[in-house]
Chains A and B, each alone.
Chain A
């Protein structure tokens, strides 16, 4: 818009200037001519001067000329009245070379021209005054027309440009609004919708890729969350169902006090299981929300393992499983949490150990990290089982899941992992040829 205006202004100004120049040349030419004639004929021969001048003006209707010698007009063309009026007031003009063309208005016409006093030639004492004007009406009319046309063209151009701009932006932003539409369409039920890269211009590819990546992550979290929720529901349903059935059946007949006691005991076990699920879930939820902030104390890993060995001593002895430790390391960590994490690993190892085998715990520290490996001999976990052992509620041996050998809720390893991750560490597992090993790595100064 501004560019358009500036361009218009420049065009008008330059055309104007061009006409100006043309007029100036014409006027100057005539002035020189008059001077020449005057010089040739001298001021005395006014008759021949007028004649010659008239001759030279033939065909130049647009020129208005007036020449005066002293106060006497010696030549004037038609319509020169305005020049005469102008020259009556000497303030208007001077001897100086004219610089700008002067403008006059007369009888609805516009004139441009000059009025000068010619320098007195040595021979004569007469002061000649010459005024030459060009009827600029044509030019002005042309300029007006030109301006009008220019304005029209500009206006149309402007409108066109606006329309075009709108269309182009619309078309250019089409992919973006497509993206917006996809984004609007994504709900919990349709979280697998993605942007199609082939329908997008190159410039938007990286945006679309990050957008899709974000969706992937969200979808992952979302599925985990909803799996999690349904897992919880499922895990709670079983004990609640047992409790309800048992209570209703018990109440349907009158029983002996001993029987009632039995029922209450059995209920209590279910309640304890429920309480355990709840507190474990709370622990995990806290970890998920980044609320699990480990304290930092100097922890001697071998001492922790030693304490756990004492705790599990009876259990291991019962199963005739030997507990062996090698190596030592220290790190900055939350002792209670570390103990809990290792406790789960050790408890699993004992539970899944073959009678008469040994559990080996190896501790080492290298390049700023503490490594704790816990290996036991027992069933081999398949790769697909290994992949899932850290998942919540996952139990590899489904049949034993509710056995009373302390087998848990399938939350133990999930808790262990969340503790280790809260310490910026990592945990993995491997299993082959009847030997299962869990690898824990924790930075010494997390």
Chain B
């Protein structure tokens, strides 16, 4: 997976590329709009991460040119201005998502993965499995080691999200937004409590533990081979 980052702020650009490389992506970083456009047109990328405020061509202009050339590459905007117009004009011009600075890296990573997953439809699975945990999506049932686990509807949704994206660290804000549709800075403490309760049901009586807290980042469901 190749990602082009167009970001003029050196530190931000550097850490973004480091973080995304370490997450397993191939990264190219350029520092201005003209270079960004040039590269986007020249090479093939799976995603372009575009800062709005750029020297030379700004983010909007780069996006417009990219779309004018008929390229459908997904674009994720980074904007420092928390303005409605930014959101509107960005999404109207064909951006796929946007993040307002300051954002957390975990959030960015999760969004990047969401965008990249789009369009790769695949066959809709009927069950999800991680280790001995199984989720029956049709009957909305969870079992572990063959034993039924009682979950509320939202707990099931939470577990489904974790299992669909197993191995990915999901930040609390993303979880709140995906499971409860709370698309604002909500009380993230709530997610913590909900996660604790889910864990007690899924992990307490079993081994190995599947749900892990990644401090400062969020939660991940995976079978850790230790």
Contacts of A314 in B (CB 8 A): 190, 193-194, 196-197
Contacts of B153 in A (CB 8 A): 310
Within 8 A of A (CB), among B78-127: 82-84, 100, 102-104
Contact A311 B82 (CB under 8 A): no
- For B102, the closest partner residue in chain A by CB is A275
Cα separation A268 to B172 with both chains bound (whole Å):
14
Within 8 A of B (CB), among A278-306: 278-280, 282-283, 286, 291, 293
Contact B180 A310 (CB under 8 A): yes
Cα separation A413 to B79 with both chains bound (whole Å):
27
Contact A272 B197 (CB under 8 A): no
Cα separation A8 to B153 with both chains bound (whole Å):
103
Contacts of B100 in A (CB 8 A): 279
Kindly state the interface size class of chain A when it binds its partner: 20 to 34
Contact A313 B82 (CB under 8 A): no
Contacts of A145 in B (CB 8 A): none
Q: Does B189 make an interface contact (CB < 8 A)? A: yes
Q: A192 CB to closest chain B CB, in angstroms?
A: 35
- For B105, the closest partner residue in chain A by CB is A268
Cα separation A251 to B33 with both chains bound (whole Å):
38
Interface residue tally for chain B (C-beta within 8 Å):
28
Q: Does B186 make an interface contact (CB < 8 A)? A: yes
Contacts of B185 in A (CB 8 A): 276, 279-280
Set A271, A282, A315, A339: member contacting B189, Cβ < 8 A: A315
Set A265, A291, A293, A336: member contacting B184, Cβ < 8 A: A336
Contact A313 B184 (CB under 8 A): no
Contact B82 A283 (CB under 8 A): yes
Contact B104 A282 (CB under 8 A): no
Contact A279 B216 (CB under 8 A): no
Given A311-B182, A313-B152, A314-B193, residue A347 in contact with residue B84 (CB < 8 A): no
Cα separation A347 to B197 with both chains bound (whole Å):
18
Contacts of B83 in A (CB 8 A): 286, 291
Contacts of A207 in B (CB 8 A): none
Contacts of B190 in A (CB 8 A): 311-312, 314-315, 347, 406
Q: Does A405 make an interface contact (CB < 8 A)? A: yes
Contacts of B183 in A (CB 8 A): 336
Cα separation A293 to B152 with both chains bound (whole Å):
36
Cα separation A339 to B182 with both chains bound (whole Å):
8
A-B contact pairs, 23 of them (CB 8 A): A265-B215, A269-B216, A279-B102, A280-B185, A283-B82, A291-B83, A291-B84, A307-B180, A310-B180, A311-B154, A311-B190, A312-B190, A313-B194, A314-B194, A315-B189, A315-B194, A340-B186, A343-B184, A343-B187, A406-B187, A406-B188, A406-B190, A408-B187
B-contacting residues of A (Cβ < 8 Å)? 264-265, 268-269, 271-272, 274-276, 278-280, 282-283, 286, 291, 293, 307, 310-315, 317-318, 336, 339-340, 343, 347, 405-406, 408
A-contacting residues of B (Cβ < 8 Å)? 82-84, 100, 102-104, 152-154, 176, 180-190, 193-194, 196-197, 215-216
Instruction: Beyond A269-B216, A271-B102, A275-B102, list 5 extra A-B contacts (CB 8 Å).
Output: A276-B185, A280-B185, A311-B154, A312-B187, A314-B194
